[in-house]
Amino acid sequence: MTAKELKTLVTFLMFHLCLSLNDSIHGTPNIIIFLTESLSMKDLGFYYDNSQETPNIDSLIEEGVVFSRFYAQSSRIASLSSLLTGLLPPRTGIIKSKFLNFKEIPSLASSGGLQHAEITLAEDLKAKGYTTSFVGLWGLGIGRNAEYLPLNHGFDSWYGVASANKEPCMESYKTTSDSLYTWQSVCAFFSPLLYILPFVSFVGWYKGLGNIVTVIIVIIAFIIYSSILHDVIHFTMDFIQVKSCVLYRNSNIIEQPYTVENLTLRFTRNAVQFLESSSISSKPFLLFFSFMNLNQPEFASRLFSNSSQSTYSDALKELDWSVGRILRVLKKQDLENNTLVLFLSATGHHVHKASESCSVVENGEREASCLQGGSVNGIWEQTIRVPAVMRWKGKLKEKQIIKTPVTIMDVVPTVLELLNESTEAVYLDGKSLLPVLLNSSAEFKHKYIFHYLDVTKPAAITSGSYKVLYTGVKDSRNLQFHEPPLLFNVEVDPEETSPLPNVEHRELLANFSDALAEHMKTRKNKWHSQLDSRIIPFLFPCANFPRCFQASDENNDFSELFN
Ligand SMILES: *[C@@H]1O[C@H](CO)[C@@H](O)[C@H](O)[C@H]1NC(C)=O
Ligand SMILES: *[C@@H]1O[C@H](CO)[C@@H](O)[C@H](O)[C@H]1NC(C)=O
Ligand SMILES: *[C@@H]1O[C@H](CO)[C@@H](O)[C@H](O)[C@H]1NC(C)=O
Ligand SMILES: *[C@@H]1O[C@H](CO)[C@@H](O)[C@H](O)[C@H]1NC(C)=O
Ligand SMILES: *[C@@H]1O[C@H](CO)[C@@H](O)[C@H](O)[C@H]1NC(C)=O
Ligand SMILES: *[C@@H]1O[C@H](CO)[C@@H](O)[C@H](O)[C@H]1NC(C)=O
Ligand SMILES: *[C@@H]1O[C@H](CO)[C@@H](O)[C@H](O)[C@H]1NC(C)=O
């Protein structure tokens, strides 16, 4: 064989190798996305010493590609909106507004939500012939006639909960509210006497009414106040709170208020049923499973509670069981080689209460508690850098670790490229991950990644190993502006304890501000947040007006899930 022939052969082989790689990666795989929250890499056995027992997620990690710098957004719903649309949250308005401090859509009666102009992953996939299902916690609004719920965003079926506000329906909440009948609440109840008494006495004296008449007026005023104002207001508030626990199956409310305890079991049962029915059909499917049990306050069903040192660990155990249960169906139906599985967290783990004291002091040092998680609303690496795993047996290399910074917005463009869809025509903030998935050392760069705390402007920007922080959080309520900004090398200092001296990095900082200015030009509506949309009482979802009560007709026997 001559050198020329050899060269031709090698070129031929290489061409076909590349081609077959390209060919084989394109297609219409089934897609399962597991989304949770309040989970950091630390909580998963793989990344550090095994502190929690998560065998199923660990094996997913073993068999898949792991991202060590995967950036989510600053809140759960912001991350969910980015995951579904491939856009930065301020473009969809699913992020804290400038003035109000809400991190979730504040009421079920809010007129805000994920707008229809936004094209979701489910809509893209449905157009390609997929069957799509959303199970679990939503949170992107309800709106008029349930216009913002999953069924109107490209999902064929949905089973789950519209908003994260479940506290009033939890056992623990009920016991704390009982204990509120303490001397404080008794004082609060009688407090109006403090102003009714002097006022009526004054009027009585001025008008020359007798003492008895005055006392009667005081009593009547108090009764009117306490029954109408105090009780009615409190009753209404309690009623709204408890009735906010709404469980949907497609367009029906099937339980109001729901019982929190077994929700993860019920979500899992529903997801398993969806997988079993989809595996019979020849259509590819998308299953989006959004876990709710790590949403604070965490909860676990009786089968998992008290099995470890905290409710958090119990909930994580149940989550892991659920992931394993669903992957088992995949294996049984022989769908593993044909299914792309993603496991992601929408937010990092946050330390209970400790976040109150989380602030950067003058020299940039932070208290130890912050290093493990920081504030709920922070933009620290530990809160936005989340665990992310992608598994596609036979297609993606196992045990691969990708160190390039990527974002939660990259999922949509990645899937679009898998489907041979061009992403050039649509505007997206994300970029396809295929180049790095196929070659972990490939050039793939988000030159700059913008991180938002609220709708106005980026609070931080990441580029390569550097991160510049313009806005931090002082405590759980207040932001802290850094002028000049703090600069970190998050590759060597992921805990962000030692800011780099600005004087030595003038050019880098100048590049960051240029990038910020360029980025702001792409922002059209700089103020609009869906979280401060009007609240319209008649939008409140109600199973049957005016009781707004619906008992569940589902069975409580979950034994088939454990077979
Ligand atoms: C593989 O796909 C990429 C992007 O989709 C494309 O740029 C490249 O040319 C393809 N390679 C071959 C050999 O077809
Ligand atoms: C995607 O493109 C490749 C190469 O052009 C082709 O072989 C494959 O069938 C396409 N896949 C889909 C799902 O259209
Ligand atoms: C879990 O433990 C707590 C406190 O020890 C106890 O009150 C509760 O009943 C236990 N729950 C279950 C389901 O065993
Ligand atoms: C899945 O892919 C692996 C590796 O490519 C192969 O060994 C296995 O037989 C495949 N399984 C099925 C059910 O096709
Ligand atoms: C992977 O990417 C690196 C960096 O761009 C490149 O040098 C290398 O040749 C690529 N490997 C393959 C198999 O394409
Ligand atoms: C700043 O940007 C310029 C132009 O893009 C580039 O040449 C330079 O290397 C950048 N400086 C740093 C420190 O990144
Ligand atoms: C939850 O499931 C368990 C086990 O199947 C059952 O015993 C219990 O009654 C259920 N609880 C609720 C509140 O439905």
Q: In the predicted model, what is the mean pLDDT of the chain?
A: 84
End-to-end CA distance of the chain: 61
Give the per-residue pLDDT at 408. Answer: 97
Ligand 7 center to 262 CA (angstroms): 6
- C-beta separation of 496 from 523 below 8 A: no
Q: In terms of residue numbers, what domain contains 409?
A: 28-165+246-352+374-441+528-555
pLDDT of residue 181: 55
pLDDT category, 4, cuts 50, 70, 90? Answer: low
More confidently predicted of 37 and 367:
37
Domain stops at, among 240, 257, 287: 240
**77 domain residue, yes or no:** yes
| pLDDT greater than 80 at residue 369 | no
Domain with residue 147: its CATH number is: 3.40.720.10
Q: Is the peptide bond before 546 cis (omega within 30 degrees of 0)?
A: yes
Ligand 6 atom closest to residue 511's alpha carbon, by position in its atom list: 1
Same domain for 491 and 532? Answer: no
pLDDT in the model for residue 99: 85
Q: pLDDT per residue over 381-418, tens digit each?
A: 888 999 999 999 988 988 888 989 999 999 999 999 98
pLDDT attached to residue 375:
39
Domain end position, chosen among 240, 264, 292: 240
In 305-378, the DSSP E strands lie at 339-345
Rounded (to 5) percent helix, strand, coil in the chain = 40, 15, 45
Whether pLDDT at 176 is above 50:
yes
pLDDT per position as a tens digit, 262-293: 999 999 999 999 999 998 888 999 999 999 99
Q: How far is the CA of 409 from the centre of ligand 5 (A)?
A: 24
pLDDT above 90: percentage of residues in the chain: 53
pLDDT, residue 350, reads 59
**How far, in Å, is the centroid of ligand 2 from the Cα of 20?**
11
Give 114-166 as a DSSP string.
--TTSPPHHHHHHHTT-EEEEEEE--S---GGGTTSGGGGT-SEEEEES-S--
Q: Which pairing describes strands 131-137 and 285-290: parallel, antiparallel, or unpaired?
A: parallel
Residues 283 and 134 in one domain: yes
Ranges of beta strands (E only) in 181-251 are 247-249
Query: Which residue of 262, 303, 560 sits with most ligand 7 atoms within 8 Å of its CB, as the best mutation to test the pocket?
Result: 262
Average pLDDT over residues 449-454: 94
Any idea which of 199-213, 328-342, 347-361 has the lowest mean pLDDT?
Answer: 347-361
**470 three-class SS:** strand
Same domain flag for 398 and 315: yes
Place of tokens 């937010």: 347
pLDDT band at 476, cuts 50/70/90? low
Residues forming beta bridges with residue 463, ordered by sequence position: 466
Type and span of the H or E element at 233: helix 232-243
Say how many domains are in the chain.
Answer: 3
pLDDT reading at 3 higher than 70: no
Q: 93 CB contacts (<8 Å, ≥6 apart)?
A: 112, 115, 455, 525, 528, 529, 530, 531
Domain presence at residue 327 = yes
More confident residue, 236 or 181: 236
What spacing in Å lies between the alpha carbon of 511 and ligand 6's midpoint? 6
Ligand 7 lined by 264 (C-beta under 6 Å): no
| Top mutation candidate among 15, 18, 23 for ligand 2, by most atoms within 8 Å of CB | 23
**Residue of higher predicted confidence among 318 and 232:** 318
CA 495 to chain CA mean position, Å = 22
The residue among 240, 267, 282 that closes a domain is 240
DSSP state of 512: H
Same domain assignment for residues 256 and 329:
yes
